[in-house]
Amino acid sequence: MHEATMAPRVSYFDYIIIGGGTAGCPLAATLSRNSSVLLLERGGSPFNNANITNITAFGAALMDTSSTSPSQLFISKDGVRNARGRVLGGGSSINAGFYSRASTAYVKESGWDEKLVNESYRWVEKAIVFKPVVGPWQSAMKAGLLEAGVCPDNGFVYDHLYGTKVGGTIFDKNGRRHSTANLLRYASYQRLMLYLHASVHKILFQINGKAKPMAHGVVFRDSLGMKHIAYLKEGSKNEIIVSAGSLGSPQLLMLSGLGPKDQLQSHGIDVVLAQPCIGKGMADNPKAAIFVPSPVPVEFSIVEVVGITHSGNFIEGRSGSNIVSGQYKNISLKSGGFIFEKIIGPLSKGHLELKSRNPNDNPLVTFNYFKEPVDLQRCVEGLTTILKAIKTKSFSNFRFHFLDTKDLLDITASLPQNHPVNSNTTSSLEQFCKDTVSTMWHYHGGCLVDEVVDRDYRVVGVDHLRVIDGSTFHTSPGTNPQATVMMLGRYMGVKILRERLLCEG
C-alpha cells in the first residue's frame, strides 16, 4: 500500500483494477494469487481512522463534507442527500455493516454458478463477518415484527428467508469494523501493487481499423496532480477492470469515450464507442423511517435484525441516545430508535449524466423515487407493518403509549433528516412516503448486465475491459447489498483466474 505520489510515470501489469472498494478489494486479492495486479483507489486508508473503524462513530464520516472526507456527499436531482465511499474499502468502510446474502432466486436469475457463489460468500464470511450481540431494543423490535406477523423466526442466519432474522455484521464484538480492505491480507504481496489517492481520469484504448477498440492502459493522477500511466502487459487474458461503484463506473466509462454520443460530444469527449445504455437504469431503494421516542434509555445499535415480508419490504432499525434531539408534547426525543423499511427492487429507474470532465466531481444522478406506483404501494404496506410492530406488546417498553400513529409520523416528518420536505403534519401514508423519502444508500445501476456488460461482466463492444461492482445490478440483491457485492468480487476473481489457467494449459 503506497501513496500514488510514489508511482512510476509508466508501469505494466496483467490486471489493472480501478476502485479499491467493496468489489475491487476481494477481486484484487484473488487475482493477485496468480498474476500481477495494480489496484488504484482515489481515497486514503481506512485504518486508524476512528470515524471509520469504530461502530459508535457510524455517521460521523457522512457528516464530514470536506474534500478529504472518506465519504463523498452527493445530492440526487430528487433532492435526497446521499453518500459514496472515497476510501480503501469503498462503501464497506463507511456503511452500517449489516450483512445478508441475496435470495436463491436472485442468484439463479443472475445466471451465477451456485456452488461458486456459496464458496465465495463463505470466503468473505470467514474473514470479516460476525454475529451481532443483540441488545434489548433490537430484541424487542424483532419480537414486535414477529408479533405483527413477519414470521417465522429464522434465528441468526445470512440467508434471505421470509420472516424475521438476526443477520451478520462486519463489526466484531468490540465494535471494530472489518471492511473489504481487510480482505487484502489474502493477496499475494509480491504481485499486488496498491496506490492510494490515485484518481483514474481515463481508460486508454487502441483503435485499429474495423477491430473492436481495445482497452490497454489507464491515466491516473496522484494527490499532487502528477500524471501516471499504467499499461496492460502483452497477453490475451490481461484486462482492465472497473470497480468504481454505481456513480464512478459509468462516469469513468463516459470520461473515456464510451457512452451516449450526444452527451460525450457536448463535453468535448472523443467518442470511442457510442453506447446509449451507459448511465441508464440508475435506481435507489427508497427508505421510509419512523422515529419512536422511548421512555427508557436504549442501547446504541445499528442494523442487526431484519423482517422480510412477502410484499417486498425489508424492515430494520437503529437505536440510541441523541440520534435525534428536540421535544414533542413535553417529551424529550433524546432516547429512541428509528424503525425503517427498504422496498424491494425498486421498479422506478433514473439515469446519470456527466456534470464535468473532472472525475472528482459527482456526476448528476436522478433516481425518480416512486415514479412507478407499485413502489409507493409497497412503501405504504411496509409502513403499515412497522406501525403494527410498534404497537405490539413485545415493543411496549420502548414507546410512549399516549403517542398515536399520527404523532409518530408528525415527529418523524419534522426531523431534519436527509429527505426533501420538512413538515410538521402528515396527511396520509402515501404523502409521508413521498415527503420523507430518504436513502438506504443501496443505489445501483449505470452499467447494467445484458445492456452495458455481458453475463461475464465484459463491456460489450470493446475488448479487455470489464465492470465488476454494484453498477451492474438491475435490482438490489438481498435485503442489503454488500454481501453480494463482496461475493461478486471474489466470484469473478476466481472465474477470471480459472479462464487464464485453462488458456495457459
Tell me whether residue 339 or residue 408 sits nearer to ligand FAD (CB atom).
339
Greatest Cα-to-Cα distance within the chain, rounded to the nearest angstrom: 75
Distance CA 253, CA 447 (A): 9
C-alpha span between 486 and 501 (Å, rounded) = 23
Stretch that binds ligand FAD, among 265-273, 274-282, 409-417, 482-490 (CB under 6 A): 482-490
Binding window for ligand FAD (CB under 6 A); candidates: 1-9, 38-46, 133-141, 402-410: 38-46
Binds ligand FAD (CB under 6 A): choice among 52, 140, 252, 308: 252
d(CA 300, CA 500): 48
Residues in 39-98 at the binding interface with ligand FAD, rule: CB under 6 A: 40-43, 62, 83-86, 90-92, 94-98
**Residue 266 beta carbon to ligand FAD: minimum distance, rounded to whole angstroms:** 21
Helix (H, G, I), strand (E, B) or coil at 348: coil
- Mask for 194-233, x = binds ligand FAD (CB under 6 A): -----xx---------------------------------
Binding mask 93-132 for ligand FAD (x = CB under 6 A): -xxxxx----------------------------------
- Smallest gap from residue 377 Cβ to ligand FAD (A): 25
State which residue, 85 or 312, has the beta carbon closest to ligand FAD.
85
Size of interface with ligand FAD, in residues (CB under 6 A): 43
19 is a contact residue toward ligand FAD (CB under 6 A): yes
- Determine whether the annotation assigns residue 87 to a binding site: yes
Out of 165, 178, 442, 490, the only residue in the binding site for ligand FAD (CB under 6 A) is: 442
Question: According to the binding rule CB under 6 A, does residue 21 interact with ligand FAD?
Answer: yes
Residue placing its CB nearer to ligand FAD in the complex, 245 or 257: 245
CA 232 to chain centre: 29
Q: Is 442 annotated as a binding residue?
A: yes
442 is an active site residue = yes
441 carries a ligand binding annotation: yes
| 3 state SS of 374 | helix
Q: Is 470 known to sit in a ligand binding site?
A: yes
CB of 243 or CB of 412, closer to ligand FAD: 243
* DSSP reduced 3-state for 126: helix
Q: Where are the alpha helices (DSSP H) in 373-440?
A: 373-390, 405-414, 429-435
- Alpha helix segments (H runs only) across 301-402: 373-390
Residue type, 317: G
State which residue, 238 or 482, has the beta carbon closest to ligand FAD. 482
Task: Give me the least distance between CB of 219 and ligand FAD, in Å please.
Answer: 10
Rounded-to-integer distance, Cα 38 and Cα 24, Å: 11
238 is a site residue for ligand FAD (CB under 6 A):
no
Pairing of strands 98-99, 81-85: unpaired
d(CA 276, CA 457): 17
Is residue 472 part of the contact set for ligand FAD (CB under 6 A)?
no
Binding piece for ligand FAD, criterion CB under 6 A, among 12-20, 154-162, 376-384, 494-502:
12-20
**Chain Cα centroid distance, residue 450:** 21
Looking from the CA of 148 toward its CB, the CA atoms found within 13 Å total 28
* Candidate residues 286, 359, 363, 445; the one interacting with ligand FAD per rule CB under 6 A: 359
CA R_g for the chain:
23
**Which helix (H) or strand (E) element contains residue 52?**
helix 50-53
- Among 244, 272, 452, 496, the residue binding ligand FAD under the rule CB under 6 A is 244
Residue with cell 466509462: 253
The pair phi, psi for residue 463, each rounded to 5°, is -105, 155
**Among 60, 54, 48, CA closest to 177:** 54
Angstrom distance (rounded) from CA 167 to CA 160: 9
Helices then strands, each counted (H, E), the chain = 12, 28
Measure the CA angle with vertex 50, ends 45 and 54; round to 5°. 110
Catalytic-role residue among 197, 228, 419, 442: 442
Q: Closest residue (Cβ) to ligand FAD?
A: 21
Chain CA centroid to CA 192, Å: 24
What are the binding residues for FAD? 87, 200, 441-442, 470, 481-482
Q: What are the residue numbers of the active site?
A: 442
What are the binding residues? 87, 200, 441-442, 470, 481-482
Which residues form the interface with ligand FAD (CB under 6 A)? 18-24, 40-43, 62, 83-86, 90-92, 94-98, 199-200, 243-246, 248, 252, 303, 359, 441-442, 469-470, 480-483, 485
